[in-house]
Amino acid sequence: MRARVPASSANLGPGFDTLGVALSLYTQVTITPADRLHLEVVGEGSGFPKNGTHFAAKLARQVLGHDRLRIEIESEVPVSRGLGSSAALAVAVVAACGHPDPLTVAALLEGHADNAAACVLGGFVTATIVDGKVVAHRLPLDPGLTFVVIIANQSLSTKDARLALAEEVPLVDATFNLGRMGALIAGMADHRHLRPEAFADRLHQRQRTPLFPSATVLLDALVTAGALGSCWSGAGPTLLGVCDRAAAEHVRSGAEAAMLSAGVAGRALVLHPDPVGLVVTP
């Protein structure tokens, strides 16, 4: 069985662990029976050991109870960059194993319901876990919006990014984020209402900046170049600019210039929202 899923950007400023959007980079996993584990990886993540310690092999064992499988992975999603590579692989593996609920299984095993929901549903989503089950919904997304991502060459583990966060936050900061999240959801539905302030956050972005000090100047550069707003993508270090489609190439060029000025190696890409999400074929 074959499963194809998009990359995702989660958090989206104030929507920490809650909001996600599917983006047009893809991971495809094909799983067929075999007499023993055989793993092939093409593209991103091809440098990891191709044995039973691989994330895909461990997931398949948990779902099927064995690893007598041929697992073929083709991925365009950079690893440990904040574009949901682990969630994409988890959803694709669970779906390719034939499980009827890849969203819940992948989210519980991988740990990010927002990324997993974007992978499965496509588009702009909200997700949470209630009584051990993922509750996720598509949200309205203005068809005129697209995204520019700044993907630095450095990686950043989610574990390290989590350690940068406070275990408790003041009520005023929680209220700040809730207000901005409402403004962000409204703006994503109709870009005429989208303002840079809607991406403001007090829970995670400032706290993670020491892990990628150039983030602040690059986020500002995205808006200066014409993005309607900018934020960290997931745990970073990828940064996301939300743009009108007509301005996307100009924003991408501005991002490249800002990266050069800041001495940040990497690339800037225009990515479109993926409206489909998970696709499974026999």
Q: pLDDT tens, 112-157? A: 899 999 999 999 999 999 988 899 999 999 999 999 999 999 888 7
Residue 194 pLDDT exceeds 90: yes
Q: What is the DSSP string of 86-135?
A: HHHHHHHHHHHTT-S-HHHHHHHHHS-HHHHHHHHH-SEEEEEEETTEEE
Q: Place 161 in a pLDDT band, splitting at 50, 70 and 90.
A: confident
With a pLDDT cut of 90, the percent of the chain lying above it is: 89
pLDDT at 160: 81
Higher pLDDT pick, 23 / 111:
23
pTM for the complete prediction?
0.93
Give the SS3 label for residue 15: coil
pLDDT at 132: 85
Q: What is the DSSP string of 205-273?
A: HHHHGGGSTTHHHHHHHHHHTT-SEEEE-TTSS-EEEEEEGGGHHHHHHHHHHHHHHHT--EEEEEEPB
Residue 177 pLDDT exceeds 90: yes
- Lowest-confidence segment of 148-152, 207-211, 273-277 by average pLDDT: 207-211
pLDDT at 13: 96
Residue 178 pLDDT exceeds 80: yes
CA distance 75 to 21: 18
Q: What is the mean pLDDT of residues 219-233?
A: 98
Residue 158 pLDDT exceeds 80: no
Query: 45: closest CA among 71, 74, 70, 25?
Result: 74
Residues 6 or more apart in contact with residue 137 via CB below 8 angstroms: 125, 126, 127
pLDDT at 57: 94
Residue 201 pLDDT exceeds 90: yes
Q: Place 259 in a pLDDT band, splitting at 50, 70 and 90.
A: very high
If 0-12 CB within 10 Å is exposed, 13-18 middle and 19+ buried, where does residue 63 land?
buried
